[in-house]
Chains A and B, each alone.
Chain A
């Protein structure tokens, strides 16, 4: 194994193990922090895959934005002095069977399928992705800005109390 392979195993293990903690942890706060490591692990996988721009985006938006939002959600929907922050779990047995079945099917599909193997040598992607955003994907880029506008208006409208309307 090369050094890069070791790094892969480290990131892959971190991703999957912390993903499991997100699902199994009894406390919401533990889940949230485990999610942090999952996002880091995935960002590491992106780096190994040569997706430098995406890795940075993952850190900025997922860790810096989405995770912080989720933490706000955890804190605002529980009294902070309530240290337990337990979440209720149900149907663990059947859930485990379904999830294991799904894993086996998809892992099997990943192994037996003859995927195309054109491949692409790792190279800096930022410039090329920027060109794609303002070229081929111009419309999607603009549509995403409308989406963010709607989310902004919507979220602000929903949490505002009725009186202020």
Chain B
């Protein structure tokens, strides 16, 4: 009982989200014309409170295992919690039902309940410290995502996307489950620190089962972060889902997946030494992840070159970014973990900004096709300039946040020694390839002639304000860089006890 009471004190963000979720469900079922507004305000308040609690945990530097070792609270987890809650908050506030044409006429109650449930699941996943909790949270994130992708009922693309997502996801997590079962068999425990302790002393006899378990677990993580070759669902799902859902999926579950991947690969499959980690046992998972990372960034960027649908283009771009972020895990050091945190932080603002522009163009013109974008600069200068900023940030042009993310990630890889210079070079070449399609978007919007007959876009005041907010979020962080660096540095503390 005391254990539970102690745990609840470190569990406030999740409690707030659960309470908010239940309230939203109840309010929505009461009915009445006012419920849509009430549900929205309630959700925003819930997320704001959860964000406050997450920041409080981070500032306090709270550490420890809670709920009998089911979850871990540590600065790293708190950092992820802040990013995850912030992502949901930005989606609910910036991507309104008014701004997203696809959502017009659909019920708001379930949408907000699902966002809160997804946020809760993300937080549980990012803090999981036991393979039972890891599997359960992973499935909670996945199942909530399937439902959110299917939200546009009656829309064939949304339906098809959710079916593909579900079948692919169920297979991947099923494979991961088999891997986890082998890991349980090898170590006799479900607790991640317990598994580390056993693996650190080595598994006797042939290692085949351990390799298989590692491989299958990588499949599960690969699916969650859309790494090649487990990315097939990604473009279809991003295209089929409503744009706010796509924007959320491109950031939040991915960040949660990276959160648990760091915890798993650093805290379970490696042993901490000062400032770095040593591989435990005999699995060279670093090599496996290097291969996956290189394939992911290359395939994502090359496939994005030929896309005309903006949602698909951003889907392939997000696959490529997952490849860069994986570099932070491969580095297997404090520097690597810090670069991953900073990249995710930067990615949140640049990607959500780009998706907001896509949403607004769809609201006014009803199109996601890049070939309908010419002349946009004449019709909506502010929107186009903002998009320009987001694209340059995604390429990694200084002084935007995207540049800082790339700087840290490549730096972490270079730090590993000369054996990995080629890896950083591959990343740099990829960033150059990525420049082509991002700049193509800019060229179409700024230079190409077309749509002369269409009137200027009349953006609502709120939408303008949000565009400015995201633009500022991409431009300004460089001014406070030393503080953000310090924050991330302080956040790279993994609690690895039971």
A contacts, CB < 8 Å to B: 105-106, 108-110, 112-116, 118, 135-140, 143-144, 146-147, 149-151, 153-155, 157-158, 160-162, 165
Contacts and interface: CB of A to CB of B under 8 A. Distances in A.
A53 to B, nearest CB: 16
A150 B188 contact: no
Interface string B147-169: 10011011000000010000000
B412 to A, nearest CB: 33
Nearest to B204: A114
A160 B204 CA distance: 55
A40 B37 CA distance: 50
B185 A158 contact: no
Interface stretch (B129-137, B327-335, B465-473): B129-137
A134 to B, nearest CB: 10
B153 A161 contact: yes
B117 A146 contact: yes
A144 B124 CA distance: 12
Closest 6 CB pairs of A and B: A154-B147, A114-B205, A139-B67, A113-B209, A162-B154, A136-B68
B397 interface: no
Nearest to A160: B153
A109 B208 contact: yes
Interface of B: 4, 7, 18, 21, 25, 66-71, 105-107, 110, 113-114, 117, 120-121, 124, 130, 132-133, 136-137, 139-140, 143-144, 146-147, 150-151, 153-154, 162, 182, 185-188, 203-206, 208-209, 212
A110 B209 contact: yes
B112 to A, nearest CB: 11
Given A138-B67, A161-B153, 19 more contacts: A109-B206, A112-B206, A114-B205, A115-B186, A116-B186, A138-B68, A139-B71, A140-B130, A140-B136, A143-B136, A143-B137, A147-B136, A150-B147, A153-B25, A153-B113, A157-B153, A162-B154, A165-B106, A165-B107
A140 B132 contact: yes
A109 B154 CA distance: 47
Contact of A118 (B121, B139, B188): B188
A145 B187 CA distance: 29
B212 A153 contact: no
Nearest to A112: B206
B133 A140 contact: yes
A113 B186 contact: yes
A137 B4 CA distance: 11
Scoring A154, A158, A162 by chain B CB atoms within 10 A of each residue's CB, the highest score goes to: A154
B150 A113 contact: no
Nearest to A118: B188
6 contacts: A112-B205, A112-B208, A113-B205, A140-B130, A149-B21, A157-B151
Given A105-B212, A138-B68, A157-B153, A146 B143 contact: no
B140 A146 contact: yes
Contacts of B71: 139
A115 B206 contact: no
Given A143-B137, A161-B154, A165-B105, A154 B208 contact: no
A139 B133 contact: yes
B120 A146 contact: yes
Given A105-B212, A112-B208, A146-B18, A154 B133 contact: no
B209 A137 contact: no
Contacts of A115: 185-186
A137 B68 CA distance: 8
Nearest to A135: B68
Contacts of B146: 154
Contacts of A135: 68
Contacts of B110: 153-154, 157
Contact of B140 (A113, A116, A150, A165): A150
A152 to B, nearest CB: 10
A27 to B, nearest CB: 21
A154 B114 contact: yes
B118 to A, nearest CB: 9
Nearest to A158: B150
B147 A139 contact: no
Nearest to A108: B208
A96 B67 CA distance: 45
A162 B153 contact: yes
Contacts of B121: 146-147
Contacts of A161: 153-154
Contacts of B154: 161-162
A109 B203 CA distance: 13
